[in-house]
Amino acid sequence: MKAVVFDVHGGPEVLHSADVEKPVLGFGEAVVQVKACALNRLDLWLRKGIPGVKIPMPHILGSDISGVVAETGLGVEGWSREDEVVVAPGFGDGTCEECLAGRENYCVNYQIIGYRTKGGYAEFVRVPAANLMRKPSKLSFVEAASIPLVFLTAWQMMVDKARIRMGETILVVGAGSGVGVAAIQIAKLFNCTVVTTVSSEEKAVKAKALGADFVINRGVEDVQEVVKRVTSGRGVDLVVEHAGAAIWDTAVRSLGRGGRLVTCGATTGPQVSVDLRFLFSKQQSIMGSYMGTKGDLVDVLRLVDRGALRPVVDSVFPLERAVDAHRRLEAGESFGKVVLTLD
């Protein structure tokens, strides 16, 4: 089968087309014929190389997958060839206490498809059959592939971890990111006031169209000053953050009394500091969040099917132009998801 792989870590140019063996089914598994696969920042990090993380080479990236069922293995029921599916991107070992409690993303052996397993930059991908979910019929394969990882991540951050409440004021860092476009929409489901940051006026227009109430162009405006103004000096109730070091101090200082900050990434660096005196005296909370459960994704897809949430697609590239897709995402030019398609 055709695939895009890399054999060494480096820039986008290390990605190249290759003929690789079609996946072989195991018990409880399915093979999906990939129709579309969306990019994530994880793809960029893995391609560059993450210190201390070894992945099998040659490696096939891709965690956000939509397609049709091609084959099912022993022990798989309820699925037929040509069923249109979205693939939940994460899975645990299925035997630990966390997995049995439905919290597979807390499993010590938790895996993300395309991380240490072969992913969706290929004609076919092998996945646990338990990760198959019906594709919302109203969505194209490109739109469907734009949902799983980022909406799952944002849902757990805001609903499961931060316990978002109706009518709160929320700062979403990076409106144009995958998590950003999902977080803005989830906040509006709860009738919240959304303050968000962008890097250009073009992105500001798109953020407002998505539902943001106040959009800060961080290149010309001071984030903390704008937050102070729009909240009458009180600060926000919740910060949804994934940028890391470059925005951390501003994000923390934007919190009001009793505010919560939830983070899922460190795009601009992992090392930050916290003044504990402000943290405890203002009774604030800082939380980390990683992915989400398949149950969370069921909730998300149900809301997508009803039109309450919608995928945001920035651009579409054929699989053989994966290098160009990586360059666009890495340059920070995108608003929403960059997606690869396969004939």
Q: What pLDDT band is residue 71 in, cutting at 50, 70 and 90?
A: very high
Q: What is the pLDDT of residues 284-294, one digit of tens each?
A: 999 999 999 99
Rounded to the nearest 10 degrees, how much is the dihedral formed by the CA atoms of 242, 203, 61, 95? Answer: 40
Say what the pTM is.
0.94
Query: Domain 2-147+311-341 carries which CATH code?
Result: 3.90.180.10
Query: Is 90 exceeded by the pLDDT of residue 314?
Result: yes
Over range 304-312, report the average pLDDT.
Answer: 96
List the chain domain ranges.
2-147+311-341, 151-288
Instruction: Please determine, looking at this structure, whether the domain spanning 151-288 carries the CATH number 3.90.180.10.
Output: yes
Q: What is the pLDDT of residues 20-56, one digit of tens each?
A: 999 999 999 999 999 999 999 999 999 999 988 999 8
Query: Is 80 exceeded by the pLDDT of residue 343?
Result: no
Q: Are strands 29-38 and 337-341 parallel, antiparallel or unpaired?
A: antiparallel
Query: Is 90 exceeded by the pLDDT of residue 219?
Result: no
Q: What pLDDT band is residue 270 in, cutting at 50, 70 and 90?
A: confident
HSE, side-chain direction, 13 A CA sphere, residue 11: 5
Say if 2-147+311-341 and 151-288 have the same CATH topology: yes
Whose CA is closest to 187, among 289, 265, 262, 247?
A: 262
Task: Work out the number of other CB atoms within 10 angstroms of the CB of residue 270.
Answer: 10
Q: What is the pLDDT of residues 223-267, one digit of tens each?
A: 999 999 999 999 999 999 998 888 899 999 999 999 999 999 888
Distance linking the first and last C-alpha atoms of the chain: 12
Whose CA is closest to 150, among 14, 342, 334, 17?
A: 334
The pLDDT score that the predictor gives to residue 238 is 98
